[in-house]
């Protein structure tokens, strides 16, 4: 077993994975920099990196790191930590935050629901279009409730499979 395959991680292999995973996230609608930063954090052994480490691995400016991290923190995909007695910040992914972030889709769904409610009203609940809106709205309300339960089931399943956090 070579040194690079055991101790020090194969930087190139890591980078390849980071970029290919980030590309998938981008294709699903995520902005490029947040996607790359998130992928890098996800594939770090500690699950966390400093701003400088991120900038170096991804070859991007501190400004780009800053912007990406702000977005990720806002959407709860990543949390910021201050290293005590240092002015370095560490950005971390928790296993849990993955599904917290998914649950945050709720915020989006809520806004859709709001818009649909207005639609039902302004198109008229007794028109064909209004009825279609109402049904769509019902669908989202259904989904919303289901997601909550689904996450609860995942929490149980996860604990059984991977043990308590």
Q: Is 41 an interacting residue with respect to DNA (CB under 7 A)? A: no
Tokens read off for 51: 């701003």
CA distance 137 to 115: 9
Question: Closest CB to its own copies among 86 and 161?
Answer: 161
Q: Any bridge partners for residue 81, and if so which?
A: 90
- Given a contact cutoff of 8 angstroms between Cβ atoms, the answer to whether 74 and 23 are in contact is no
DSSP letter at 118 equals: H
- Identify residues 134-163 at the interface with DNA (CB under 7 A): none
Q: Where are the beta strands (DSSP E) in 3-156?
A: 48-50, 79-82, 89-92
Q: Is 17 an interacting residue with respect to its own copies (CB under 8 A)? A: yes
Q: Is 28 an interacting residue with respect to DNA (CB under 7 A)? A: no
Q: Is 4 an interacting residue with respect to its own copies (CB under 8 A)? A: no
CA distance 85 to 81: 12
Residue ranges in contact with DNA by CB under 7 A = 31-33, 50-52, 59-67, 69-70, 85-89
Residue ranges in contact with its own copies by CB under 8 A = 9-10, 13-14, 16-17, 20-21, 24-25, 27-29, 42-47, 93, 95, 98-99, 102, 108, 111-112, 115-116, 118-119, 122-123, 127-129, 132-133, 135-136, 138-139, 142-143, 146, 150, 153-154, 157-158, 161-162
């Amino acid at each position: 077993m070579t040194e690079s395959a055991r101790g020090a991680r194969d930087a190139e292999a890591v980078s390849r994975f980071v970029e290919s995973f980030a590309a998938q996230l981008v294709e699903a609608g995520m902005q490029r920099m947040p996607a790359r930063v998130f992928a890098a954090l996800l594939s770090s052994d500690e699950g966390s990196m400093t701003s400088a480490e991120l900038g170096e691995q991804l070859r991007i400016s501190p400004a780009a790191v800053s912007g990406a991290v702000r977005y990720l923190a806002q959407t709860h995909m990543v949390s910021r930590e201050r290293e005590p007695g240092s002015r370095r910040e560490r950005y971390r992914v928790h296993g849990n935050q993955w599904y917290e972030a998914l649950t945050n889709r709720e915020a989006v769904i809520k806004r859709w629901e709001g818009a649909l409610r207005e639609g039902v009203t302004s198109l008229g609940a007794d028109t064909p279009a209004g009825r279609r809106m109402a049904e769509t709205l019902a669908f989202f309300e259904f989904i919303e409730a289901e997601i909550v339960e689904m996450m609860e089931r995942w929490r149980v399943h996860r604990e059984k499979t991977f043990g308590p956090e």
